Amino acid sequence: MAKKSSAKSTDYPTFLRELLEAKSPTGHEFAAQAVIDAYVEKSADKYERDALGNRIATLKGTGGPTLMFAGHIDEIGLIISHVDDRGFLYFEFLGGHDQVIPSGRRIHILTRQGPVLGVTGKRAVHLLSPEDRKRVPERHDMWIDIGVTSRTEAQGIVRIGDPAVYADGPEILRGSLGVARAFDDKAGAYVCMEAFRRVAKDKRIAATVVSVATTQEEIGTRGAQVAAQGLRPDVSITVDVGHATDHPDADNRKFGKFALSGGPIIGRGPNINPVVFDHLVKTAEDLEIPYQIQAESRPTGTDARAIQMANSGVACGLVSIPLRYMHTPGEVVDLKVVEQAVELLAGFARRVKKKQSYAW
């Protein structure tokens, strides 16, 4: 019997899919580093690994400014902090969690022997007092169950300090919409590195392009800080995720209006250099890429915050991929917007002039 043809949907580029499948909680980015190494190293003139785990790919230009791309490869997770006498595991958070999310999930603990399945438990709703039902569980009200019966048995499998991530991998929600844990910020890291790979196929451009897969963003933009300090870029574009507000519980008066499929979001405000902002908009318009503009009144919660203040200052731009349900296992993005952001970054790099100044 012939197979029925399924509804047409965009699939993930393999590079992005592998990044999303890589389990890389903050401070333990090994698996994502390996994916970046495999896809990017051969396109680079120079490729470096540093003490914070950053991956730094350089493409030499013809004497123009140094342009740094930054996208973080760490993701939020848990870290095992205590094993009780019956073998239940307690944890701390790696990065910011909404505490209604962690319980009732399948997770993978990254152990010496590889990923181990666990379940996050808490007392069932039937056993909660009416007051407790209204309360958000505290971190210590939840635990991880790996199916053992003693501390000794648990300690034969996991060590204190082993990290964990939700088990949810990438799937297509519908059409070009993808759902996965950790689009924040595998989507951004992919955009930076895929744009780099495309520019690497051009004949030399004016700018020296340095694309950095940064680490430890989720606990304070730490990888980006040291990378920018060491690389001394003139100009930089950070790619991260932003909040799509086209869902039932986002007041546009408070959060602005950002459509999931409305194109990359270009940030504007004190963290953003006005020349870089103008060039990003001009590039989007030249390439007929739809875009949205977000006002950023403060240092942004992205790598751009650290990069801007490195050395004697860096001209920063920020491109965000609109995303629903940030920091949950069900983050949603439109893969078409991810591709638009790749072209926007590559286009920006190609347009940097040899004598470009970002002073204003």
With 0-12 CB in 10 A as exposed, 13-18 as middle and 19+ as buried, what is 294?
Answer: buried
Give the residue with the Cβ less far from Zn ion, 29 or 184.
184
Q: Structure tokens of 303?
A: 């790598």
Q: CA-to-CA distance for 171 and 288, rounded, in angstroms?
A: 28
- DSSP string for residues in 288-307: T---EEEE--SS-SSHHHHH
For Zn ion, the nearest residue by Cβ is 184
Q: CA-to-CA distance for 277 and 315, rounded, in angstroms?
A: 10
The one catalytic residue among 29, 75, 194, 217: 217
Give the residue with the Cβ less far from Zn ion, 184 or 296.
184
Contacts with Zn ion, residue ranges (CB under 5 A): 184
Give the H or E element holding residue 36.
Answer: helix 30-40
Q: How far is the CB of 100 from Zn ion (least distance, A)?
A: 17
Q: CA-to-CA distance for 44 and 201, rounded, in angstroms?
A: 10
Q: How far is the CB of 327 from Zn ion (least distance, A)?
A: 6
Q: CA-to-CA distance for 299 and 247, rounded, in angstroms?
A: 26
For residues 44 and 57, is the Cβ–Cβ distance under 8 A? yes
Position 220, amino acid: G
Give the residue with the Cβ less far from Zn ion, 64 or 178.
178
- CA-wise closest residue to 334 among 342, 326, 325, 324: 324
- 296 catalytic residue (yes or no): no
Q: How far is the CB of 280 from Zn ion (least distance, A)?
A: 22
ω into 185 cis (within 30 of 0): yes
Q: How far is the CB of 187 from Zn ion (least distance, A)?
A: 11
Q: Structure tokens of 271?
A: 């963290």
Sheet with 331-334, strands from edge to edge, namely: 171-174, 177-180, 331-334
Give the residue with the Cβ less far from Zn ion, 184 or 334.
184
Q: How far is the CB of 99 from Zn ion (least distance, A)?
A: 16
Give the residue with the Cβ less far from Zn ion, 220 or 230.
220
Give the residue with the Cβ less far from Zn ion, 191 or 207.
191
Q: How far is the CB of 296 from Zn ion (least distance, A)?
A: 16
- The dihedral through the CA atoms of 222, 227, 230, 233 has a sign that is negative
Among all residues, which ones are annotated catalytic? Answer: 217
